[in-house]
Amino acid sequence: MNAVHLPLLPDDIKAETALTAMRWLKKAAAIRQSGNLHLVSAGAVVVALANRVTNFGYVPLKSEVREVTVQDVSRWGLDTVDPHQTETKYEQYLDHYGTHYAVVDSVPGLALVVTRHEIEGNEINKSPTACYCVGVNEHEHNTPPTRDHDTCHCTYEILCWPPVR
C-alpha cells in the first residue's frame, strides 16, 4: 500500500491545465471528478494533447477510484489521517471492492489517495515527463525524441507535450 497526494480536478477544465497541475505537484497522475472518481495518468494527458484533445474530460481513464466513506472507515477500521497505521485494513478494503485506488480524504484541488500495491503508488508519486510512448503500458520516455512522433524501443510511437519541433 502507498498513500499519495494527487491533484483533484473537474472534468471540464483544459487538459493542459490538468497536466500543469500534475507537473507543479510532481505527480504522474490526477483524480478526475466526473460523477465518479477516476485516475488519469500524465501519459494519457500528454498523448491526448499531442492528438489535439483539449478537454480533460475526454482524456482516457486509467482506473476507477473508490471514495472512502464514513461507513467504510467505521466498518473497516481505517485511519484516514495516517493510512499507513492501518495498511493491512486498506489492502483488504481495496481487495474487497476490486479496486487499486481509493480517495481517503480531499480538499478542493487535492486528494489523499491510497493504492493497493506499493509499485502503483511509486508510479504516480513521481514527476511526469514530457514524452510518453503510446504503447500498451504507456510508459514514460525520458530521452526526448529527435522529432515528434519518433518510435520507441518497443516499436510504438513517442508523443510529447509540448511537441518536439
Per-residue pLDDT at 165: 62
Per-residue model confidence (pLDDT) at position 145: 66
Domain that holds residue 51: 2-128
Question: What was the pLDDT predicted at 48?
Answer: 94
Mean pLDDT of the chain: 91
Say whether both 99 and 144 belong to one domain. no
pTM for this model (two decimals): 0.89
E strands, 79-157, are 101-107, 110-115, 131-133
Give the residue ranges of the chain where pLDDT is below 50: none
Question: What pLDDT is attached to residue 127?
Answer: 86
Judgement on whether residues 137 and 122 belong to the same structural domain of the protein: no
80 and 101 both lie in a single domain: yes
Grid coordinates of 152? 520507441
Q: 111-126 pLDDT, tens per residue?
A: 999 998 887 888 898 8
**Is-contact 9 33, C-beta < 8 A?**
yes
pLDDT score of 72: 98
Q: Are residues 97 and 149 in the same domain?
A: no
- What helix, strand, coil percent values describe the chain, rounded to 5? 30, 30, 40
CATH number at residue 87: 3.10.580
Q: What is the Cα–Cα distance from 163 to 67, expressed in whole angstroms?
A: 35
Total tally of structural domains belonging to the chain: 2
Question: What is the pLDDT, as a whole number, of residue 55?
Answer: 97
User: Where in the chain does DSSP place strands (E)?
Assistant: 2-10, 29-34, 36-41, 63-67, 101-107, 110-115, 131-133, 158-160
